[in-house]
Amino acid sequence: MFIIIGLVVVLGCVFGSFVASGGAIGPLVSSMPFELLTILGAAVGTFLMANSIAAVKHLPGGIKKAIKGSQYTRSDYVDLLSLLFHIAKMASSKGFMALESHIEDPQGSTVFGAFPKIRDNPHICSFICDYLRMAGMNATDPYQMDEVMGNELKKNMREEMHLPHALQSVSDALPALGIVAAVLGVIKTMASISKPPIILGEMIAGALVGTFLGILLAYGIVAPIASRLGGVVEEEASYLDLVRSVVVAHLQGNAPQVSVEIGRKSIPSDLMPSFQEVEEAVSAAAVA
């Protein structure tokens, strides 16, 4: 939402101040479609050349994610902490083998069933079950588990950050592509050097629109979207990292309450629930 608000502010201030200061909007409007075709067409082409088909397919979803923000809220962190508490409690009292039925069939599990949003999220659900399954196969060395989970999280981060980096590369190229459009306009102007000054003035103004649009698109639109998307990816990565913190803390021999508290401390400050919130949520969860 803030991206849309920011975009309106950027465009309103840039074009509004131009018109308010007496700028002639006519040459700008008449030249803009052709300059945009040159700049955006070249930008799309460079994006296609520099990225895989997977990155291209993820672009619409990435833009949507940047606009909507992280899918995980404060209540989602509370639910995840509550789920991990009950899992750790069951593993402490009955052993990891008691979790086998829940791990193999999360959809039919009474533990996962108490937290339907987590159960119905294939990515987070499989991440939890995979490492609980490993722990059930005697992979209980906390340092080894920490390294393995950390490696997967780093791999996920590299893959998710590819699109923000790709958009940032396009942003870096846009000013130069704007200059390309401007140079083409200058070439067109020089080919008509015999025309009256008033016509040449309009043609030069049209050529400069290319430089203007390249810079505006780069620093006013594409770069902020790339930065915001990268921020959302990092925010969502902390949700999975919470699982790692709690699982490793449990394997180190901590009580379920302590393991969950260690995980809670790893949550970003603006999303971190209080100790009382987690305690109340754990008590209220209907886990059979």
Q: Residues 139-148: pLDDT tens digits?
A: 788 899 999 9
Is-contact 214 39, C-beta < 8 A? yes
Range 98-102 average pLDDT: 86
3-state SS assignment for residue 83:
helix
Residue 287: pLDDT above 70?
no
Number of H helices and number of E strands within the chain? 14, 0
Distance CA 91, CA 85 (A): 10
Confidence of residue 21 (pLDDT cuts 50, 70, 90): confident
Angle subtended by helix axes 53-68 and 162-190, to nearest 10: 100
Is-contact 230 213, C-beta < 8 A? no
Distance CA 240, CA 135 (A): 17
Is-contact 6 224, C-beta < 8 A? yes
Could you report the per-residue pLDDT of 229-276, keeping only the tens digit for each? 999 999 999 999 999 999 999 999 999 999 999 999 999 999 999 999
Q: What is the pLDDT of residue 194?
A: 79
Higher-pLDDT residue of 1, 221: 221
Neighbours of 220 (CB within 10 A): 18
Cα angle 93, 99, 102; round to 5: 140
Residue 288: pLDDT above 80?
no
Q: What percent of the chain has pLDDT over 90?
A: 58
Could you report the per-residue pLDDT of 157-202, keeping only the tens digit for each? 999 999 999 999 999 999 999 999 889 888 888 888 878 887 777 7
Could you report the per-residue pLDDT of 32-80, keeping only the tens digit for each? 888 899 999 999 999 999 998 988 999 999 999 999 988 999 999 999 9
3-state SS assignment for residue 273:
coil
Average pLDDT score, the chain: 89
Confidence of residue 286 (pLDDT cuts 50, 70, 90): low
Residue 97: pLDDT above 60?
yes
192-201 core/surface letters (b: 16 or more CB in 10 A; e: else): eeeeeeeeee
Higher-pLDDT residue of 126, 97: 126
Which residue type does 76 have? D
For 175, the token pair is 């000013």
3-state SS assignment for residue 98:
helix
Distance CA 19, CA 17 (A): 5
3-state SS assignment for residue 120:
coil
* CA distances from residue 209 to 10, 23, 132, 198 in whole angstroms, order as listed: 17, 13, 58, 17
